[in-house]
Amino acid sequence: MKDMNIVVIGMAGSGKTSFVRAFYKHCKRQKESCYTINLDPAVTSTPYKCNIDIRDSVNYKKVMEEYRLGPNGAIMTSLNLFTTKIDQVVSIVEKKKGYVIVDTPGQIEAFIWSATGPIVTEALATAHPTVVVYVIDTPRTTAPATFMSNMLYACSILYKTRLPFLIVFNKSDLQDSEFAVEWMTDFEKFQNALDPEAYMSSLMSSMSLVLEEFYAALDFVSVSSHTGAGMSDLTAALQKKADEFETEYKVQREEIARKREEKEEKERKAQMAKLSADLGLGVPAQTVSDQEDEVSEPGENDGWIDNDDYEETNEVDAAGIQDRYSKALKTEQLNEQFQKQLNLS
């Protein structure tokens, strides 16, 4: 079994947390290691043993109060605050064996389309092969319009994360996913399911043709978080995705990282050159004796600042900002928690 990270993403109500619980129980029955991370700051409780919990370091309700935010804004801000400690999370994760499963908020946009999502997924990918699991509520996907919406979400997440991607049709005990598989593999069956008089039929028909190539490269499994059915198929699919990460995605990500480093190095050199020009360091260097030989006119200092005449500029008082952040982000407690995790690793 390969060590891997599993990032669980899905719409609210799709059963992500129940899926994490079912997978955690399956791992324990199979005597396999499973390390869990909760990134949903608004959840009241988790039905599984949580090893790293965002709620231990960020108070979601205080974030709402301090920054006068709504629920979604507070979730995004809480994730941003937690991400400042992502290096400590990675230092723990890279020492773990088996599965590391990450439960994310149901507000997909708060995780994927914010700064937090790419930072978290890219950081985890440096520790172990990382797979994105997109959980779909199968009973609610029987309508062609809802099915197409889920597929568009899946497509956008795949191209946003650039990681091995697996679709999980959840709640198979309530609704078999055979209809969805047929719609993905047979264009005509999806066409027949559309209402020809519906306003969106022609649009969905066109989109299904566009996504046909996407479906061909997509892997999917059907599971029930309630009964545990399909978990063996899931683990086999995850191992396949871990191999895919090593053979395909790892090379791509290394190339992306190399280009990013080259860009950052180029920008750093440009900034240093600009700084040198601003400080006058671009002129020919002078020796100390040359500088001493120069005679300054009375009242002039040739650009040098006399220490006696130097007055410090007033710095901006950041106490207010620091106080607000300390209330939302319990830094000392967070550091103690991560230090404890590091010691136990």
Say which CATH number the domain at 116 has.
3.40.50.300
For the record, the structure tokens of 178 come out as: 């055979």
Let me know if residue 291 belongs to a domain.
no
Which amino acid, one-letter code, is at 293? D
Let me know if residue 25 belongs to a domain.
yes
For the record, the structure tokens of 338 come out as: 């991560």
Let me know if residue 137 belongs to a domain.
yes
3-state helix, strand, coil in the chain (%, to 5): 55, 10, 35
Q: Is 74 helix (H, G, I), strand (E, B) or coil?
A: helix
CB 164 within 8 A of CB 245: yes
Which amino acid, one-letter code, is at 170? N
Enumerate the β-bridge partners of residue 35: 100
- The per-residue b/e assignment along 133-145, b for 16 or more CB within 10 angstroms, e otherwise, is bbbbbbebbeebe
pLDDT at position 216 is 87
pLDDT at position 307 is 46
Report how far apart, in Å, the C-alpha atoms of 9 and of each of 135, 284, 341 are: 6, 58, 25
Domain membership of residue 70 as a residue range? 4-253
Cα–Cα dist 177/166, whole Å: 15
**Alpha-helix runs per DSSP H in 162-309:** 178-185, 187-193, 201-210, 212-216, 231-244, 250-279, 288-293
Return the HEC string of 127-163: CCCEEEEEEEEHHHHCCHHHHHHHHHHHHHHHHHHCC
For the record, the structure tokens of 218 come out as: 């997509």
Which 8-state DSSP code applies to residue 55? G
Cα–Cα dist 337/156, whole Å: 35
Which residue shows structure tokens 């507070």? 74
Let me know if residue 49 belongs to a domain.
yes
Let me know if residue 332 belongs to a domain.
no
Closest to 124 (Cα-Cα) out of 212, 239, 4, 208: 4
Residue 251 burial (10 A CB sphere; 0-12, 13-18, 19+): exposed
Q: Is 115 helix (H, G, I), strand (E, B) or coil?
A: coil
Let me know if residue 171 belongs to a domain.
yes
CA dihedral 75, 337, 116, 254 (to 10 degrees): -160
Q: How many domains does the chain have?
A: 1
Query: pTM of the predicted model, to two decimals?
Result: 0.74
- Count CA atoms closer than 13 A to 69's CA, side-chain side: 16
Cα–Cα dist 277/244, whole Å: 48
Residue-level pLDDT, tens digit, the chain, 345 residues: 889 999 999 998 999 999 999 999 999 999 999 999 999 999 999 999 999 999 999 999 999 999 999 999 999 999 999 999 999 999 999 999 999 999 999 888 889 988 899 999 999 998 899 999 999 999 999 999 999 999 999 999 998 998 999 999 999 999 999 999 999 988 889 988 988 777 778 888 888 888 988 898 899 999 999 999 999 999 999 999 999 998 887 777 777 778 878 888 998 999 888 888 878 765 444 444 444 444 444 444 444 444 444 444 444 455 555 565 555 555 555 555 555 554 544
For the record, the structure tokens of 155 come out as: 């497509």
pLDDT at position 315 is 46
Let me know if residue 294 belongs to a domain.
no
pLDDT at position 259 is 82
For the record, the structure tokens of 59 come out as: 């108070």
Cα–Cα dist 323/319, whole Å: 6
Let me know if residue 107 belongs to a domain.
yes
